[in-house]
Structures are given as C-alpha cells and as structure tokens.
Amino acid sequence: MKYLAKFSLAAAFSLASMTASAADIKVGSVAGVTGPIAELVAPILAGRNLAAEHVNAQGGLLQGDTMKMVVADSACDPKAGVDAGGKVVNIEQVVAIVGASCSGATNGMVQSVTIPAGVVSVSDSATAPSITDLKDNDLVYRVAPSDSYQGRALASHVLASGIKKVAVTYATDDYNAGLAEVFAREFKNMGGTVTANQAHEPKKASYRGELATLAKGGPEALALFAYYGSSGITIIRNSIENGLFGKFYAADGMFDKSVIEQIGADVLRGNIDISQSSSDYDDVSYKLFAAAISAKGVNPKAPYAAHGYDATFLMALAIEKAGSADRGKIAAALRSVSKGPGEVIRPGEWAKAKKLISEGKDVNYEGATGIVDFDENGDVSGIYGINTIGADGNWQTKLLK
C-alpha cells in the first residue's frame, strides 16, 4: 500500500524511539508492525506519533515531561500481543498503552498482561465485538467502534445496493470471525439470505475448492471477511479467475491499495465495496488533524490514522488530568476528558487543554474521528464509510448516514 509519500515504518520507529531523558513519561505503542496488515499500521503509528509531537511541542506532560511512545510489535497475533504487552508493561514500565492494532492481539495482551497489571489501554483499531464483554476492571477502551456496528452498517449497505443473497467466508481470527457473525445475523434479520457461511484458514495458496462450494445456492455476491495480506487478495483472484464470484463486499481488513494493484482497478471497479470506520471530513476537528498529518506526507484518510491520533491525544489528556503518571489514576481521568461537560478540545490544542486543566477546569475532547464518548464498556459508536474504486483507479470514500 502506498498511502505514504514520505513516511515509512522505519520513520515510525525513529519518531517513537527517541533518546530517553530523565523526564520521560513512557506510553506503550503496541501495533502490528509486521504481519498481515503491516502497511495499514504505518499511518496509524504516524497518527500516534503526531499526537505525541503536539503534546511535547506545547508544554509536554505535567511539569514539562516528555511523552515517549515505546513501540512494540504485536504482529496482529495473540501470542505476539502478549509478548509485546509484557515488554512494555514489565520491562519498559509504561504508564499506559495505546494499542494493540488487531483484535486477537488486543484480546491476548489485555487478558494476559494489562488487566492483571492494572494498566489502561486504548486501542485505535481493535474492533471485535468480544472486546466489549471483557471483565476488564474498566481498563480496556477503544476509539474504533465495535464491529457490532460495522457488521450492521455493511449488511444494510449490501441490501440497499439491491443484493438479496450472499455467501459469506471469513478467516479464523477474532476480528474476521466476529465481524462475519454480526454481518450474517444482521443481513438475515433485515430480510437477506445467506446461502452459505464458511470459515477459511489464512495463508493458503488457493481457495478454489472452498469457493466452488460457496458459489452453490445462487449467491449474488461474496461477503469476504479477511485480511488483504493473509487470504483476501487470493480469494478475490481465485473467484474471478474461475468465474465463481464477480461482486464482493468486505470490511476494513481488506482496505488497502495492494488489492487494486494486484487485482486491477478495471476489474474491480463497480464490483467491490469495503466498509471502514471513518471520520466526518467536514468536521473542524478532522480538518485540523488532516492538515497536520498531511504536512507529514501521510494520507489523513488512511484507515485508523485518525483513530491513532485520538487514542494518543486522549491518553495524554488523561495523564494530565490525573495529575501524575500513576497507572491507577488514568482510567477515571480518561472518562473525564472524553465526555462533557467541559470546554471542547480539538486535535492540536494541547496548550489550551493543559492550561484549562491546570486551572481546575473540565475539558471535553472532540477528536479527528468525531465525538469519542466512551460507554460503560469503553466503546464508542463511530462513523462508517464505504470505499469503492473511482475513475482514477484509487479508492474513494462515501460516508454512510
């Protein structure tokens, strides 16, 4: 994926691994730096690092301390998520964590490491419905909405597009399996027909046999829940080459430029719709974020880049509100700064927020992704868009109302 004009994963590590000083306050930045969505993660890290840069350039945390983002690779994998969480919590002694990127890695990390250690985490891109129901002692949050919302939004969009019968295939991981379950249930509840619903193993060389089975029963399209770099592109290629499916609906794990590059814009134009947690592009907060990250050479519409910014800026606000880098005080402060009443704080307005908090006044962050009011489970509702291929051969996004 080529969302980045100047930014790279190497730059992400450089920005997030600056030389420590005695005044550092460490925050974990756990992400799938390697693995099936590595290209998607680079802009997310850019969003996180931009938020920390804004904090540090406008007075820093507390008594002028530096917000230091400590990167650990969760590889979009549950075991790697546990290892990454253990590294930043037990070795680096971070006060809180932004991440992890993927749902499986997040579930592994929080259940094995952060919840037992009493460490708050805010994910910018873990969306599995299973996270909602964790017994987390109010320590697990996310600024990306649950796929309970995305599955419903995508099902509604498919039906509104005139498609009444679909086959469903999903990869066997927390994110894709959970999303497929919600989609299939909601699609049927709305009057659609699921002709087949089948799991698939990732990283196979071919899915021709599975697709031949899925094509039976007269489906009009394939609802595909997979990561583009693991099984998604192969499934689309096999479908088209064998004349089994020509119309596809997918979720944000498939939203990458490499899908167009490897399959072809002309082949996919009008034949693939991909849902994505998005932002209101006309909103003041989004425009502030977009201008700042565009100046870094990063596409502001890259998936979850804005969420990465919001998760990090909220964590900084929570530390500032808590008045210390005490792990045990951050959760309550996080809820306080994310929801009114209080004076509205937007992306880049750290100096304003810091002054208000020092004066004992309430602040209410309204982010690049919209209003980030956490419910009792640490979830937000969010905004969704549908991505299709435009005349120029690139993805174009239309917000769902």
319: pLDDT confidence band, cut at 50, 70 and 90?
Answer: very high
**Cis before 212 (ω within 30):** no
- Quick one: which of 398, 227, 230 has its CA closest to 301? 398
**Residue 23: band (very low, low, confident or very high) from pLDDT cuts 50, 70, 90:** confident
Do 218 and 361 belong together in one domain? no
Which pLDDT does position 226 carry in this prediction? 97
Residue 379 lies in a domain: no
236 and 298 share one domain: no
Contact 115, 327 (CB under 8 A): no
Q: How confident is the model at residue 2 (pLDDT cuts 50, 70, 90)?
A: very low
State the total domains in the chain. 2
Note whether residue 376 is domain-resident: no
Boundaries of domain holding 213: 148-276+384-399
CATH number at residue 343: 3.40.50.2300
Task: List, for residues 53-72, the tens digit of each pLDDT value.
Answer: 999 999 999 999 999 999 99
pLDDT for residue 382: 83
Same domain, 157 and 139: no
Distance of alpha carbon 120 from alpha carbon 393, whole angstroms: 41
- Please report which confidence band the pLDDT of residue 51 belongs to, taking 50, 70 and 90 as the band edges: very high
How many other CB atoms are found less than 10 A from the CB of residue 330?
23
Shared domain for 20 and 133, answered yes or no, is yes
What pTM, to 2 d.p., does this model score? 0.86
Q: Which pLDDT does position 8 carry in this prediction?
A: 46
Other beta carbons within 10 Å of 196: 16
Same domain, 80 and 193: no
Confidence (pLDDT) at 347: 98
Residue 157, both tokens: 């969009």
- Structure-token pair, residue 337: 């700064």
Q: At what angle do helices 38-57 and 350-358 cross, to 10 degrees?
A: 50
Q: Where are the alpha helices (DSSP H) in 271-362?
A: 284-294, 305-322, 330-338, 350-358
26 assigned to some structural domain: yes
pLDDT digits (tens, 9 = 90+) for 324-364: 999 999 998 999 999 889 999 999 999 999 999 999 999 99
Per-residue pLDDT band at 11 (split at 50, 70, 90): very low
CA angle at 151 for the pair 145 and 157, rounded to the nearest 5°: 115
Contact 110, 119 (CB under 8 A): no
Residue 16 in this model has a pLDDT that exceeds 70: no
Q: Are residues 296 and 351 in the same domain?
A: yes
What is the mean pLDDT of the segment spanning 95-108? Answer: 96
- H or E element that contains 114: none
Q: Are 143 and 380 in contact (CB under 8 A)?
A: yes
Site of tokens 């980045």: 4
Question: Strand order of the sheet with strand 363-367?
Answer: 343-345, 363-367, 370-371
Output the CA–CA distances (angstroms, integers) from residue 373 to 102, 160, 300, 369, 370, in the order listed.
Answer: 21, 29, 22, 11, 9
Instruction: Tell me the CA end-to-end span of the chain in Å, nearest whole number.
Output: 28
Same domain as 159, residue 78: no
Say whether both 222 and 181 belong to one domain.
yes
Q: Tell me how far the alpha carbon of residue 232 is from its chain's centroid.
A: 18
Whether residues 286 and 365 share a domain: the answer is yes
354-360 contact pairs (CB < 8 A, 24+): 354/58, 354/59, 354/320, 357/317, 357/320, 357/321
Amino acid at 281: Y
pLDDT value of position 340? 82
Average pLDDT over residues 276-298: 96
Which of helix, strand or coil describes residue 194?
Answer: strand
Domain-located, residue 3: no
Question: What's the maximum distance between 2 C-alpha atoms anywhere in the chain?
Answer: 66
The string of pLDDT tens digits covering residues 253-279 is 999 999 999 999 999 999 999 999 999
Is residue 250 domain-shared with residue 392, that is, in the same domain?
yes
In a domain, 80, yes or no: yes
Q: Would residue 170 count as lying in a domain? A: yes
Paired tokens of 232: 């998604």
Together in a domain, 260 and 357: no
Task: Note the pLDDT of residue 400.
Answer: 86
Instruction: Please tell me which residue, 203 or 400, carries the higher pLDDT value.
Output: 203
Considering the domain architecture, whether residues 136 and 105 belong to the same structural domain is answered as: yes
Backbone angles phi, psi at 213, to 5 degrees: -70, -45
- Residue 204: alpha-carbon gap to chain centroid: 25
Judge whether 50 lies within some domain. yes
The proportion of the chain whose per-residue pLDDT surpasses 70, expressed as a percent, equals: 94
Please check whether residue 294 lies inside any domain of the structure. yes
Strands (E), 21-151: 24-31, 66-73, 96-98, 121-123, 140-142
